[in-house]
Every structure is written in structure tokens, then in C-alpha cells.
């Protein structure tokens, strides 16, 4: 090893260990290739550049890891998935409402006929617009629409909790806050299309369209009546629930190896939170009405509320181990001259 | 709102890799060549860009070689990288067209005088 190489290696110590493991040998190769023959000291410009870049890697990159990727990218994609979930839930409920209305149910709420349709109609519109804005790359518009969606979800909670005396809509409010926060966090980053690519965005849109199309067949009896005897879609559980989910998973897969793991973890935590927040209000209702021992109820509620945290923490731990192992793998220099 | 404009080193690295997979030093040489020597990337800047582009999925490792006991890792553009470069190229072209149009109009307005 020459004195120049030794000095370059000493300068490279300014980088974090994981970065050195991944790139040190390669960088030494580049630095030595660019050095004039007989040179013994690093050039001042090279030395300054290494110190600056090393400090930036060490202290200035809160959203990147050596082998990993930006959390803002993950926030953009999971924000889209959360908005799709909320749009799907709104459209699903709207379709059910229209179906019931078609059968003669007045859908009366607070003494007003048809008022029950107002909440799902508002949710369908606002979250569909948020999804469209997100896919079109209108970042600030998406954030504004998501924040409006939070207000709409809050109205939905109030609308249903007063007559029904329960908080069944709390899950939507919680996921709406998460969606708005994710979109806001993603604004300075790359956004959805560069992260997922055209194919990934197409898959995500296909998932959403599939979800609506398979559910919309329930309207056959309302709109089409006797005119259409055959059904284009089978509204079985697979088509209705799993195919759209698979399409979204395929969209996440298109984001590349480092992103997809993080998208999976954050989406799984979001999905678990949505499930938990659907169950907790019911459990609280049952407990407060004396049908369940209060200590038992509290312990169940605590376990449920911890579930998303466990999913997120466990997933992140697995990813951290995977990235550390991959970083070590990148650092291995193949000695096969 | 449009995507955040790419920084010049990022654009140049992606442009270098658009032609063929290249290792670090070849990227430096190619960037220097295509900019007429105006931009000569330093190792710290280059690897900061390469690490970020890898993390963002815009480039990936093509292959590794050992040449004279030194590791050479070749990088290639991914589909997402190609798309990002195309978007940035279109943005730059549009801006250049506006600048060109305004300069031409200014030239005409000033009766052919450029200063």
C-alpha cells in the first residue's frame, strides 16, 4: 500500500462504517486512478470533497441509509395506498347505500331522508380526488385534499356517533390523519411516479379500478334491472378483496428491492391500524355496557392498540438486519485477479 | 407542482450511464468529456450521487471486476432512472426553448443589437 493510498484511507474514515463497507475499496480505486504518478499527498480539492461528502453522509442524511432508500419515497407510496383505502371504503359504502335506496330504504339520518348517503358521497369524492391528484403529481393539491379528507372523516365520525352512540368511523379518521401526514412528509421527495414508475402507477390504478368494478356489480339490480342478465365480474371474495390487494402489492414491488420492503412494513402497520381502529370502538362500547369484564376489556384494547406498533417495530427491525447484511455484502471485495 | 429539478452532477451521472454501464472512474472521465472539462466530478461527490441514485432505484450494480487489485463496480441505469433522466431532459429542453425564444425576441426588439 502506498503512502497516498494510506492517506486516502485515513480521509475516508470520516464516512460512517456502513458506507465504508459498501464503497471504500471502490472509492480508493477511483482516487488512485485519478492521482498523478508519484503523488504522495491527496490533492486539496479531493481532500476537501471527501471531508464534505463524508460529513454529509454522516450527519446530513436523515432520510437515507447506505443500502436503503428515502423514507419520503415510502411516505408517498403508502400515502397513496392509505388514500386508496379510504376512497375504496367510501365508494363501497356509497354503493351499499345506493343499493339499499334502490330497494326502498329511505336512509334517514337526523330526520332527513337520504342523509346517510351524504357521508359516503363526501368521502368517495374527496379521497378519489386526492388519489387522482397524487397520481398526477400535484403534491400540494394532494396534501390540501388529504387535509380536507381529515375534516370530512371527522364529520363522518360525528354524523354516525350521535344517533348510533358509537365511534365506528374512528378508523377512517385515524387513517386519514396518517394519509395527510404521509403526503405532507413526501412533498420534498420524489413523489409517486418516479418511485413506482409508469408500470407501478398503472398497477396501483388497476387495483383501485378492480376494487370499484368488482363491488360496483352489486348495483346491477339498481341500475340495470332486467336488462343485463349476465355479470362481467364474479363478486367473490377473491376478486373483491384480494385481487385489488395483489395489484397494489405488485405496484409496491415495482418500486425496487429497497423500497418494497419498507412500503410493505409501513402499509402493513397502516392496515393493522385500520383493522384495530375498527374493532376498538366496538370493544369500548361492549365494555361500557357491562357485557365484558372491564379489566379484560382494557387488556384487549391495549393489545389491539399495540398491534400496529408491534407490526411496524418488528418490520423495521427485520429491514434493519437485512440492510446491515446487504451492506456487509456490498463491502466484500472479490479477490479474483 | 412538478418534480424537484435534478442537480447537475446527478443529471450528468445518469447521462453517463445512459450510454452503457460504467464504473466510477469511467463516469468521471465521461462527464469531463461531455462537458468539455467544465465539470470534473470528485470521488466524494460522485459516490454521494451514486449512493443516492442506488437508494432511489435509479441505478443499480451491473457487475464487479477486479483490475490490478482494485475493485471496479459497474453501474447501469434502471427503468426508473431512464424515466427520471427523460423527464429532466424534457424539462431542461423546455426551459432552454423559452430562453432561446426570449433571446430571439429581445434581439428582434433591439433591432439586431445584442447588447
pLDDT digits (tens, 9 = 90+) for B46-103: 998 998 898 888 898 888 888 877 888 899 999 888 988 998 999 999 999 999 999 8
Residues A49, B25: C-beta atoms closer than 8 Å: no
pLDDT value of position B2: 44
Q: Are the Cβ atoms of B47 and A26 closer than 8 angstroms?
A: yes
In A, which residues are within 8 Å of B47 by CB distance?
Answer: 23, 26-27, 30, 53
Sequence-distant (6+) residues with CB within 8 A of A66 are: A16, A18, A19, A21, A22, A57, A323, A327, A330, B51, B55
Distance from CA of A137 to the nearest CA of B (A): 7
pLDDT in tens, chain A (337 residues): 788 899 999 999 888 877 887 888 889 999 998 888 888 888 888 899 999 888 888 776 544 443 434 677 788 888 988 888 888 888 878 888 888 888 888 888 777 788 888 888 999 999 999 999 998 888 889 999 999 999 999 888 887 776 555 666 788 888 999 999 999 988 877 788 777 777 888 888 887 777 667 666 555 544 444 443 334 334 444 555 566 676 777 777 777 666 788 888 888 888 888 888 877 777 777 777 666 666 777 777 888 888 888 988 898 888 777 766 665 554 443 333 2
- Tell the residue number behind the cell numbers 383493522, with chain if given: A275
A32 contacts in B (CB within 8 Å)?
70
What is the four-CA torsion angle of A107, A111, A113, A117, rounded to 10 degrees?
-50
Q: Which set of grid coordinates corresponds to residue A267?
A: 402499509
**Candidates A2, A29, A35, partner chain B, best to mutate (most B CBs within 10 A):** A29
> Cβ neighbours of residue B110 under 8 Å, at least 6 residues apart?
none
Residue A114 zone, left/alpha/beta (φ > 0; ψ -120 to 50; rest): left
Q: Can you give the pLDDT at residue A165?
A: 55
- Whether chain A has a CB inside 8 Å of the CB on B19: the answer is no
Cβ–Cβ under 8 Å, residues A262 and A189: no
User: CB of A58 within 8 A of CB of A15?
Assistant: yes
Which of A34, A197, A333 is facing B79, going by the closest CB pair? A197
Q: Which residues in chain A have Cβ-Cβ distances shorter than 8 Å to B52?
A: 64
Select from B14, B22, B31, B57 the residue whose CB has the most chain A CBs within 10 Å, as the one to mutate to test that interface: B57
For chain A, say whether B69 makes contact (Cβ under 8 Å).
Answer: yes
Which of B23, B44, B55 is the closest to A69 by Cβ? B55
B43 near A CB under 8 A = yes
List of chain A residues whose C-beta atoms are within 8 Å of the C-beta of residue B25? 29-30, 33-34
- Give the pLDDT score at B4: 63
Alpha helices for chain A (secondary structure H): 3-12, 17-34, 44-59, 71-102, 118-136, 139-164, 170-186, 192-216, 237, 243-253, 257-288, 294-331
Q: How many residues does chain A have?
A: 337
Average pLDDT over residues B20-43: 92
The confidence score (pLDDT) of residue A57 equals 81
Alpha-carbon gap, residue A255 to A189, rounded angstroms: 15
CB nearest B84 (choices: A140, A194, A256): A194
Quote the crossing angle between the two packed helices A118-136 and A170-186, to the nearest 10°: 20
A64 contacts in B (CB within 8 Å)? 51-52, 55
* A chain contacts of residue B68, beta-carbon cutoff 8 Å: 337
> What ipTM does this complex have?
0.83
Q: How far is A268 from chain B (nearest CA, A)?
A: 22
**From the CA of A267, how many Å to the nearest CA of chain B?**
19
**What is d(CA B57, CA B14) in angstroms, rounded to the nearest whole number?**
12
Kindly determine whether residue B51 and residue A46, on different chains, have CB atoms separated by under 8 Å.
no
Exposed/middle/buried for residue A115 (C-beta within 10 Å: 0-12, 13-18, 19+): middle
Rounded Cα distance between A260 and A153, Å, is: 29
A76 chain-B contacts, CB cut-off 8 A: none
What's the whole-model pTM score?
0.56
Residues of A in contact with B6 (CB under 8 A): none
Q: Which residue of B has its CA nearest to A67?
A: B55
Amino acid at each position: 500500500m502506498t503512502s497516498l493510498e494510506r492517506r486516502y484511507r485515513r480521509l475516508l474514515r470520516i464516512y460512517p462504517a456502513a458506507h465504508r463497507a459498501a464503497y471504500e475499496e471502490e472509492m480508493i480505486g477511483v482516487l488512485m486512478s485519478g492521482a498523478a504518478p508519484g503523488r504522495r499527498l491527496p490533492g486539496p480539492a479531493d481532500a476537501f470533497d471527501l471531508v464534505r461528502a463524508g460529513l454529509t453522509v454522516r450527519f446530513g442524511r436523515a432520510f437515507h441509509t447506505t443500502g436503503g432508500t428515502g423514507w419520503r419515497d415510502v411516505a408517498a407510496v403508502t400515502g397513496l395506498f392509505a388514500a386508496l383505502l379510504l376512497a375504496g371504503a367510501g365508494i363501497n359504502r356509497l354503493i351499499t347505500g345506493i343499493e339499499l335506496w334502490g330497494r326502498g330504504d329511505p336512509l334517514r339520518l337526523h330526520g332527513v331522508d337520504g342523509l346517510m348517503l351524504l357521508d359516503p358521497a363526501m368521502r368517495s369524492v374527496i379521497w378519489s380526488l386526492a388519489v387522482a391528484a397524487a397520481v398526477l403529481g400535484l403534491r400540494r393539491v394532494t396534501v390540501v385534499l388529504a387535509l380536507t379528507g381529515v375534516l370530512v372523516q371527522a364529520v363522518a365520525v360525528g354524523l354516525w356517533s350521535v344517533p348510533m352512540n358509537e365511534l365506528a368511523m374512528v378508523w377512517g379518521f385515524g387513517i386519514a390523519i396518517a394519509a395527510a401526514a404521509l403526503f405532507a412528509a413526501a412533498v420534498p421527495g420524489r413523489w409517486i411516479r418516479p418511485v413506482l414508475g409508469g408500470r407501478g402507477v398503472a398497477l396501483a390504478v388497476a387495483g383501485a379500478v378492480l376494487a370499484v368494478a368488482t363491488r360496483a356489480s352489486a348495483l346491477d339490480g339498481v341500475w340495470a334491472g332486467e336488462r343485463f342478465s349476465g355479470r362481467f365480474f364474479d363478486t367473490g371474495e377473491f376478486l373483491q378483496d384480494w385481487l385489488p390487494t395483489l395489484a397494489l402489492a405488485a405496484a409496491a414491488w415495482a418500486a425496487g428491492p429497497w423500497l418494497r420492503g419498507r412500503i410493505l412494513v409501513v402499509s402493513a402497520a397502516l392496515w393493522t391500524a385500520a383493522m384495530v381502529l375498527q374493532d376498538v370502538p366496538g370493544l369500548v362500547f361492549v365494555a361500557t355496557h357491562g357485557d365484558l369484564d372491564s379489566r379484560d376489556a382494557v387488556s384487549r384494547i391495549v393489545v389491539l392498540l399495540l398491534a400496529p406498533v408491534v407490526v411496524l417495530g418488528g418490520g423495521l427491525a427485520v429491514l434493519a438486519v437485512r440492510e446491515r447484511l446487504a451492506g456487509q455484502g456490498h463491502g466484500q471485495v472479490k479477490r479474483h485477479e | 407542482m412538478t418534480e424537484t429539478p435534478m442537480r447537475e452532477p446527478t443529471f450528468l451521472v445518469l447521462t453517463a450511464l445512459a450510454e452503457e454501464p460504467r464504473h466510477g472512474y469511467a463516469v468521471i472521465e465521461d462527464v469531463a468529456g461531455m462537458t468539455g472539462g467544465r465539470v470534473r466530478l470528485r470521488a466524494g461527490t460522485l459516490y454521494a450521487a451514486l449512493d443516492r441514485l442506488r437508494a432511489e432505484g435509479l441505478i443499480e450494480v451491473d457487475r464487479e471486476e477486479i483490475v490490478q487489485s482494485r475493485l471496479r463496480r459497474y453501474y447501469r441505469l434502471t427503468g426508473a432512472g431512464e424515466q427520471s433522466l427523460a423527464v429532466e431532459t424534457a424539462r431542461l429542453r423546455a426551459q432552454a426553448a423559452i430562453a432561446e425564444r426570449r433571446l430571439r425576441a429581445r434581439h428582434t426588439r433591439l433591432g439586431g443589437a445584442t447588447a
